[in-house]
Chain A
Amino acid sequence: MNAAARVPRTLVAGLALLAAIALAVIVIPMVSPYDPVAEDVSSMLRPPSAAHPFGTDQLGRDLLTRVAAAGRVDLALMVGVEAAPFVIGTLAGLVAGYRGGWADRAITLLSDALIAFPFYLLVAVVAFVTGTGVKGIFLTFLIMGWIIFARTVKGATASLAGEEWVESARVMGFSDASILLRQMLPNVLSQAVTVLASDMVALLVAIVTLGYLGLGIAPPTPDWGTMIADGQSFLATRWWVSTLPGCAVVLVGVALALIGDGLNDGRRA
């Protein structure tokens, strides 16, 4: 059996969907005749039509262009905010799982202490200190986001630390750093990436929720959360203003969930 035959269909579907979304949010603002932030009072709250496939919002802005432009902002933020916690948490988990002892205790203690804080309370506190916007989201996720990777990777690494191939590498004379990065990391990375996929969904929901609550990305920069909040007062009569940005969030969530499931299935196969 070759490697391609073992790639789960859910993973392929998830990656394809995410690629299509990424392509759409990159290309649409480039080719659209409308500016995502330019207001046009002559065409407010128009329903979907040939000229405006997603309709327009309460300030007459083309919703398709805005959903795509907001996707650029939210997805770039999602990836950018997740990168540092992923790397830090994975490395911390590797060291704690391999070393055990004080490294394990220190990381467990720190993560237990941080996890005791309700997430959105911490967001509000950080937003209060840094002001609303990207900086607060980034800082909050840096503080909290590494924990789930550290815990996952720590468990996976600890279960491998007694394997004879790890002992062989020590007998061979490889340094601890080399054993961790070159021998063990390839064996635990797929678990960390599975967590990454599901954590990104949670992060996207958080970014959107913060925007919705007015704690996230500040207007007029388009963001799915603020767009959903803007449209809620006309939800009964002008459904598209809130619903279409909401659908975009759901689509990204489905793509990431499929990727996470696919990675999980691939590892079990």
Chain B
Amino acid sequence: MTTPLLELRHVTVRHGAFAAVDDVSLAVPRGGALGIVGESGAGKSTLARVAAGLVAPAGGATLLDGGELAPIRRTRAQRRRIQMVFQNPDSSLNPRHTVRRILAEGMLLHGTLGPRPARADVDARCRELLRMVGLDGDMLDRLPRAFSGGQRQRIALARALAVRPDVLVADEPTSALDVSVQREVLDLLAARRRDQGLALLLITHDLGVAAALCDDVAVMRAGRIVARGPARTLLADPPAGYARELVDAARAVAL
């Protein structure tokens, strides 16, 4: 069996006596996509933050290519390989930084464009990134407030992709967006997977989003994974219990 690209082993996160995440293990292969679904408060976002190195778990480990990562104090090189996009497009971009700075600073930190790239090269790459996420390349000098929620979310995605990560942790990347914009962001993620071999850990409460984007789905409830399997089978024929309730509820809403 090959080593998974990203692996969480027996991760537990406690807030006092309450276990937000309770002994969860999961793995994402290179270029694979795993969806974590479940209701609000199930511990999905906390799990995403553990993977991204924002939350230190009380127990368990995060592994990248089989090597254990420090919970928080990760090296710069390790940081580059796991990027994250967040749920709220209103707070995901620094309000005082231009789009150019938002996109360029990660690349400059990690030397993505070489040790001392010319300004023209940085600008060209920023424009290319904007176009890749479906935005106009001429918007580099604007501040985040000049953009809609969907546009900001795409800029946040471009920022994460700018440093060429191996894994993208996406925490409800479409839940704050209009349905038409949701589709565009999902297509974008699917394209990055296909073209770049990007592995995806997708957190969502929307089963349709998980089905559209992921190979495998894990259902989380009260901090534990209660069902997991290939997305198509799990969502078409969920096992009895919570997973079935969740799928039935989603179908009822869709009707």
Contact = CB atoms under 8 A, between A and B. Distances in A.
A168 B156 contact: yes
A109 B7 CA distance: 43
Interface string B90-134: 011111110000000110011000000000000000000000000
B196 to A, nearest CB: 18
Given A165-B91, A173-B80, A174-B109, A187 B96 contact: yes
A168 B109 contact: no
Given A168-B84, A172-B79, A173-B109, A187 B94 contact: yes
Contacts of A164: 86-88, 91-92
B163 interface: yes
A180 B94 CA distance: 12
Interface residues of B, number: 29
Nearest to A187: B96
- Label chain A's interface by main secondary structure: helix
A135 interface: no
A69 B117 CA distance: 52
B13 to A, nearest CB: 16
B15 interface: no
A129 interface: no
B79 A173 contact: yes
Given A164-B88, A186-B96, A171 B82 contact: yes
Interface in A167-191: 167-174, 182-183, 186-187
Contacts, number: 57
A171 B79 contact: yes
Nearest to B80: A173
A174 B76 CA distance: 8
Contact of A171 (B53, B93, B94, B110): B53
Interface range for A = 10 to 19
B109 A172 contact: yes
A173 B110 CA distance: 9
Contacts of B110: 173
B86 A168 contact: yes
B203 interface: no
Nearest to A170: B54
Nearest to B72: A170
A169 B84 CA distance: 10
B79 A168 contact: no
A168 B84 CA distance: 7
Nearest to A167: B54
A167 B156 CA distance: 12
Interface in A18-55: none
Interface in B205-250: none
Contacts of A170: 53-54
Nearest to B90: A164
Nearest to B162: A172
Given A186-B96, A187-B96, A172 B91 contact: no
A182 B96 CA distance: 10
A187 B95 contact: yes
8 contacts: A164-B86, A165-B93, A165-B94, A167-B54, A168-B159, A169-B94, A171-B83, A187-B95
Given A171-B54, A172-B109, 10 more contacts: A165-B92, A165-B95, A167-B84, A168-B84, A168-B156, A171-B53, A172-B83, A173-B109, A183-B94, A186-B97
